[in-house]
Structure 1
Amino acid sequence: MSRRRVLAVAGGVVAVLAAAYVAGYVLTGQRLPADTTIAGVAVGGKSPDAAESALTRGLAERIDEPIVATFDDQRFELDPEQAGLSVDVPASIRAAGGRSWDPRDMVALFAGGSDHDPELDVDRTKLAAAAASVAETVDQPVVQAQITFPDAKPKPRQPKAGNQVPQQEFAELIRDSWLTTDRPVRVPVSPVAPAVDAAGLQQAVRQIAEPAVAGPVTLKVGTSRVELPVTAYAPALSVVVKGDAMVPVIDAKDLAGPLTSSTTGVGRRAVDASFSFAGGRPVVVPSKAGIGLDPDEMAQQLVPVLTKTGDARSITVKATAVQPEFTTKDAEALGIKERIGSYTTRYPHADYRNTNQAEAARRIDGTILEPGETFSFNDIVGERTAANGFVSGFVINGGVFREELGGGVSQVATTAYNAAFFSGLDDVEHHPHAFYIDRYPVGREATIYYGSLDLRFRNPYKTGVVIRAWVDRSSPGSEGRMNVEMYGTKVYSVKARSSERYNFREPGTQYDDTPACVSQSPVTGFDIDIHRDFYQGGQRVKTEKDTAYYQAADRVICGKKPKSD
């Protein structure tokens, strides 16, 4: 065969292959590879338009099914739409086929394709919120070692490890599992170890706490020597974790009370301006200057000598004029002149509720928020400990009731949240209970847990706000009332609306054979939207929306789980 003929034949073969290659490219854009599925829906051999229709029909029911997550015996149901997940059908079809110059894709048109995961549109803010709603129930806050001094004696609090849901990892598991598996998503949990262990706590008791209250501290004031008794500074003293060690700290505010003539024989305490209330209106109570020992300076000087003995257990201080931190002029300049919002909740009789709510209310009462200032429940009320006046009661921890110090204080937080809500204050942070408690306004309630869950709201106005809080105590046969009022200068009238409850979640059953078990009736979970409408001059000027997600509360049976037959 001549060279020219060989070249002609070769050229023809190349032309045929090229034509076939181009035809393959065209075909890949006209239909998907044979036997291709997306999330289990058959789309193989179909045109892109037909495949889109088939995928939409095939996923129509499944996309509304809840995503199930589990942790131990707990079950959580997440609505895909509320979790910010939706299927991008056109993108899913393109990812499974579409025009391609890759010969393997051309062969797959006839040899067969494979199963593909769907392409998703993800609202990352909603997905993060869904993961956080589960984490609030599953997370167990770490308990750090601490020493307080009730009755001027060391009382150590043992450290306890916690656990925490890595929320970004959990959100990715939720996204990746949707429509790709029928198995529940296992909620990932990471252990959180306390910074100081039990041995470190015992060492702090021996080396810091016991010497700190071994005897009085001598105050050298001019030519006088005054003994500051342990009972005067012990309520302000604690030994806390800082970094990976335990250190003594003294709260200057708690120390201020004892530094008066009744305890030390030195000086007269300064009195801040405050507000009293008469006929629904605030009245400024004037401030008073004092003479005495500066509590901030005292706190700084006392800490280093608490572990000393003999003459080293003394400090030199000066009695000086002490000006109030908040003066009459300061109070009058805030423009606080009327009630701008209030709320009352009721509670069934229980002695622990009377004690704990009254103590929390006492600490909140009189709190002043200057323009732009943010209220923090945990900062104002402090840790719920026996030394701070709290007793044991029931709280929700890990999705079930447990008995802990400070039980019932969430009712104070809920009442304060609603008073702030109707006063038009900015919602900075609030957390509905893990499951709904029917004595609270649905969707408008707040739980708190010292160190992890807080209630925070901000004063957005150009004038100040003062909080009034008090408890009408319950008694056998009569309910108690928790009351919070906000005073300032009224800018808005605020009203609340709510949607119907939706995305219902059914409870399961848990068995608990630990001594901490509290039996619990089941409660159905659901979601609800809360709208806050702001009015001026009778006209609605803005609206805010918030969604509360309530998990189902399992029936809790105290005892071992029965063995299956």
Structure 2
Amino acid sequence: MSEAEKQPFFTPQRRRIAIVTGVVIAVLLGTFVVLQAIVADKVPAGTTVLGKDISHLSSTEATTVIEQAFQASLTQPITVQAEDQSAQVTAQELGIELDAQELVSSLTGFTLNPARLWHNFFGGQAVELSPKMAPQARDDAMRKLSAELDREPTNAAVNFADTTANVTPSSPGITVQVEGTSDAVVRAWSMGAATVEAVYESVTPEVATAQAEEAAETARKLVEAPLTFEAADQSGSLEGKEIAAVTTFDVENGALKMNTDWEKLAAVLGSKVAQWAQPAKDAKIYIKDSKPVIEPSAQGVGVVGDKLAAAVEAALASPERTATLELSVTKPALTTEQANQLGIKEIVSEFSTPHNSNRDRNANLALGMKNISNVLIKPGEEFSLEKALGPVTAEAGFRSSGVLVQGRHEQALGGGLSQVCVTTLNAAFFAGYDITEHKPHSRYFNRYPMGRECTLWTGVHDLKFTNNTPYGMMFQGWLSGGRVHVRVWSTKYWNVETTTSGKMGITPAKVVHNPNANCHAYPPGNAGFSVRVTRKTTHGDKTGKPINWSWRYQPDNGVVCDKDKLEKPEG
């Protein structure tokens, strides 16, 4: 064994070094612990929360500052930007909640982590908060924010100004990403920032500017000079401004398409060349000298849209911008053959009612008969007396005459037209047509059949029926021999059986006194009563809709005017 090996490990020198080292370490550790204890309740230097510096504050002080800053921040607007769009939102609207004590606890307190000591002396940082948010408030606020910031993409467009095709460029849209934008707003709020950029996606429009420029160039060629067409030894042209006026550019299936209203353009061209616009003539049915007459139909000639479009395409391909136009034969809506098939050939039913000799009333009756005559009602169509008569106005030739208004005898424009209603109703009734609307009078008039009559008042009471036969029908109406006559011309289809009861529950008319200044006296008229009318229609084994009408007439009370009993006003 060597001399060195024989020497003990802990020599006096080594022991002294170990003791000194231990003391130094103990002192350092003690100092570290003491320093940590000293700064345990202090916020590290350079620490900011919500833009407020809380460096070196105690836990209590920091909590107070943070709570005050939080309350102040709740209503401070934060501007959220997305390109040129901007909107504002507040922490309060987002439903942000912050526990200041919990936050301060994370920044203070005793720890042996040397990083805490380092930050305390040499600087902390701005604290990025992760607060709680009320879900509903947050969703509502972000929905409102998105609505203000979102922008639909704008397609490029082409519009004509006279013959100039102008292009409006496209612009992208904006769609805000709710989650990302919400996080960005919270970060900005926690840092005390007043503005923040939204997280969003750019939305590409369907129609780009280049596509619109291409469409505009096509449009310019269409309208840059007149287009000339030749047909039937005639020629006509369309000016560029006429084409532009009926041309639009529409987005269809994600692409910009030029659409020209060829039918309107055909009408424009037809108006310039009379030989190209000969309308078809419908067959006309009317009653003359108590016989049905059919004026034959005739085909027409005209310019139609699809053939004009083909001619325009050919003209554009021609250096002279000229093309041959194919004219079209136009068919009448009612041909002679169809008119004959309607079967308006015989009198199916006829009815008449007596009328008084009163100039104004007779004028209204005559005009009413004229207006309902020769009105064609095809199978399945509905007749409206109000529509057939037209406006009941003085300009239309109607006069004022006697009417019954809420049981009172008065004067009104069109007085007497109820007799047109009654006579027409009965003619239709005995022809077997389905009566779909009618309103009997409230008082009974002797000149009309009980329970089988009607009143007419524009916009209130009308007479309507449906032609429930396979044949057309029309009325012939006239005045003669002190009676109003209405015939139904068609082909007989229905066999009609009808009954009318006697008067039931008769209530005599009486005299009532009226003290009003505008009172009109008249004697008592007919008694009130109830009546029932039935109708059965058959055609071979087929049965039509039955009629079972019941009506109660009120007594036509007389009126005595007691104008001398008018009450005097107080005063």
- TM-score bin, normalised by smaller chain: 0.3 to 0.5
User: Which of 1 and 2 has higher RCO (CA within 8 Å, sep 6+)?
Assistant: 1
